[in-house]
Amino acid sequence: MKNDVQIQQDVVEQLKLHPELKISEIGVCCKNGVVTLSGEVSTFAQKVIAERCAKKVSGVMAVAEDIQVGPFSPSRRTDPEIADAALNALKWNSAVQEEKIKIIVENGYVTLEGTATSAYERTQAEKSLEYLPLKGIFNLITLSCCATSELVKQQIEAAFQRRAVIDANGISVSVVGNKVVLRGVVRSNLERDDAAHTALAAPGIEEVENNIQVKTNTDLEGNSIPVM
């Protein structure tokens, strides 16, 4: 198991892989597997990239993100300009029903309100704005769909059948309230992740518990080898 020093070093190396980031602007510390990111960056997109980098590192149990976006310069957009850009960004995302979402901008911070049919749509609305010149996003979008568990289960299973990358026969689906539980065995981590993303897009679903295992082969010495 990695110690905190190793995890800290791995996070720093992961951040270095992204030319959008200046490692001198971001502080990284780790305690008991919890990574804290601090410092000041130029854009909100850089802040998001840094957080995602840290989450990808093995051994990281949680990420406490305390990165600040630097003050806007006179050349930065005004609140009305940011609002207009945010509206256009939502319109360009086919996964989002922009007419059901309200945008509020104050001092460079964007608040999203309204309703979405799935957690996937709610997340996509936020992701649409990541590369705009803003300081932060508050996502207050709520889910409006209340489909029955059996109907949602059928929709997810049908979606699996349509996805060529997913072996639907290897996955079982159960729905409890707004949570989906996936079990079974698939051929790769890509297939496992794709199944979770597909389930999260179902109406009314807010959480996916992914218990799918990746099929393994054995080498000549009997060691287990993940199939990628």
- Residues 137, 153, single domain; the answer is no
227 — pLDDT class (breaks 50, 70, 90): very low
- Residues 30, 59, single domain; the answer is yes
Determine which of 48-52, 70-74, 149-153 has the lowest per-residue pLDDT on average. Answer: 70-74
The confidence score (pLDDT) of residue 72 equals: 59
- Residues 57, 112, single domain; the answer is no
Amino acid at the residue 162: R
Last residue of a domain, one of 69, 91, 114: 69
Last residue of a domain, one of 35, 69, 103: 69
Residue 74 lies in a domain: no
The confidence score (pLDDT) of residue 226 equals: 47
Residue 196 lies in a domain: yes
The span from the CA of 11 to the CA of 16, in Å, is 9
Residue 225 lies in a domain: no
Residue 49 lies in a domain: yes
Last residue of a domain, one of 109, 128, 143: 143
- Residues 212, 159, single domain; the answer is yes
Residue 193 lies in a domain: yes
- Residues 104, 165, single domain; the answer is no
Give pLDDT tens digits for 154-212.
888 888 888 877 777 889 898 888 888 999 998 888 888 888 888 888 888 888 899 99
Burial class for 58, CB neighbours closer than 10 Å (0-12, 13-18, 19+): exposed
- Res. 219: pLDDT tops 90: no
222 — pLDDT class (breaks 50, 70, 90): very low
- Residues 129, 165, single domain; the answer is no
- Give the domain extent around 47: 4-69
78 — pLDDT class (breaks 50, 70, 90): confident
Return the SS3 of 160. helix
The span from the CA of 99 to the CA of 209, in Å, is 30
The confidence score (pLDDT) of residue 187 equals: 84
Say if residues 185 and 170 touch (Cβ distance below 8 Å). yes
Residue 224 lies in a domain: no
The residues, any chain, with a CB within 8 Å of residue 104's CB and separated by 6 or more, are 83, 110, 111, 112, 113
- Residues 83, 59, single domain; the answer is no
CATH number at residue 64: 3.30.1340.30
The confidence score (pLDDT) of residue 225 equals: 44
Determine which of 1-5, 54-58, 134-138, 202-206 has the lowest per-residue pLDDT on average. Answer: 202-206
More confident residue, 65 or 71: 65
pTM over 0.85: no
The confidence score (pLDDT) of residue 218 equals: 44
**Share above pLDDT 70 across residues of the chain, in percent, rounded to a whole number:** 90
Residue 63 lies in a domain: yes
The span from the CA of 25 to the CA of 38, in Å, is 8
Q: How is the beta sheet containing 207-214 ordered, strand by strand?
A: 171-176, 179-186, 207-214
CATH number at residue 85: 3.30.1340
In total, how many domains does the chain have?
Answer: 3
- Res. 12: pLDDT tops 50: yes
Residue 227 lies in a domain: no
- Residues 159, 174, single domain; the answer is yes
- Residues 41, 92, single domain; the answer is no
Give pLDDT tens digits for 84-134.
999 999 999 998 999 999 999 998 899 999 998 888 888 999 999 988 888
